[in-house]
Structure 1
Amino acid sequence: MSEPYRVWALMTDTAVYLQPAFILQHRKYRETSLIIDVLTRDFGRISLLAKGVRKAKSKTAGLLQPFLPLAISYIGKGELKTLTDVEVMQPFPELKGLGLYCGFYINELIGLFLHKYDPHPEVFAYYEACLSRLSDSSKIEAALRIFELDLMDNIGYGLQLKQAAGNKKPINPSKHYAFNIEQGPIEDENGLFSGKTLQAISARDLTDAHVLAEAKILMRAAIDTHLQGKPLKSRTVIHNMVKHTKNE
């Protein structure tokens, strides 16, 4: 069955069935319900009303947690749909410690950069892959940088990493570059970024510690530029957690 037909077969004018999804966040609604922000594979970021899930006997509430791969069904024509069913899909690595907090960081990025009801199936795949990597404490930094790069590329904010701005020359691994987020790298002997680093970032090869450190500086500048000064709450939490761990 072709992909477009398969998606069509799992939806009607008012209902969607068994859509792969992850919970991004939720908030209480009235006495017994939740409003949940969900990243779906085929329909993008959506909001759902989960009725009655905070009741003592509800079997659904325990499933509506971030970082669990779910298959959800929902109905409704308005902007706020109503959740009708939820199932947990394949087993998935549990996030703990720093990896858990970094999971909330990528959730915050999704919420800030993806418009509601704007499908990005590639971003869904990047998100799922990133969560899997975050379960390995040795891969957390690389996992975050790769997700940031892929997210920016997919939504139209991708960085120019293959040639220098102005002269259009290919990046030289032995040279250094300053970086303009809008234009790309600019050859500069006092620049923060080595050509080797820019090539490695472009290739998503972040195994070298020095490359990884420069990639963090670059991606923070890129994200902050596009957020136009809007702070990331999760970034502050992660910074405080890492600082506390170092002081123990």
Structure 2
Amino acid sequence: MKKFVLFLSCFAFCFLYNQMVNAQTTVVRFMVELPGQGISQDSAVYLAGSFNGWNPQDENYRMKRVDARHYSLDVPCFADKNYEYKYTLGGWKHVEKTPENKEIDNRKFTSTKKLKIKDSVAAWNVPAPKKEAQQNPLSGMLTQDQIDKMMQLKDSVTKGLAPIIPQLLGVLQKVNTNLLADKPDIDLSKQYNAEAMKIVSQVLESVTGTLMQVMNVLTPEQKQKLRDAMKNSTNPGDLINMITNSKPTPADK
């Protein structure tokens, strides 16, 4: 019995020893050079990687400032283990990028004793500026009576288009079926295209006719406002949006 207990003790010791050996840690020193003039003292550089769950703003992985362009940090890692990481300024919106603001692959290393890593960040991600909403030139210029008439015209064209749209979808479905056939029929294709163009023409006539009636509701000053606004627009649909989303003058509310 004593021999068996001794055997178990030895086995447990060997097991724990192997676990300790396999779990040996080492310290990896990261040194990074920042682009341009670096960053101000009230900013910070962070390491985000597989060693900290890819947290882009982990205070335990906030790098120490050497000067405006140079930062360093000692990171404990398991020995002989593969890791991946990136540098950030505290969020993925400000992660390191190429000089052309493109994604870069994760940086990689295998932790070894007294490993020192020297990196250089080419650039930081520059988030695209938020597009400012276009101000409606008719906002506060239309009377309630004008808006009511426009809504009536809008409802009228919507009801008129209701039976036309399914027809167009039906023709497009036939076009697709013919194109996917083993031997598409050229004559059928021409026929379906002609049907589709006829329906599209009906839609355009309906919409254009309604818009012309809407324009008759507007004053010359209001029309000029729309013309000026459309000069800077690249989307023809903006005209309809500006009209249908107009707000009445304060006095008419």
TM-score strictly above 0.5:
no
Q: Sort the TM-score into its range (normalised by shorter chain).
A: under 0.3
TM-score under structure 1 length normalisation: 0.20
The structure with the largest helix share of the pair is 2
The structure with the largest strand share of the pair is 1
TM-score under structure 2 length normalisation: 0.20
Larger relative contact order (Cα-Cα within 8 Å, sequence gap ≥ 6) = 2
Largest Rg, 1 or 2 = 2
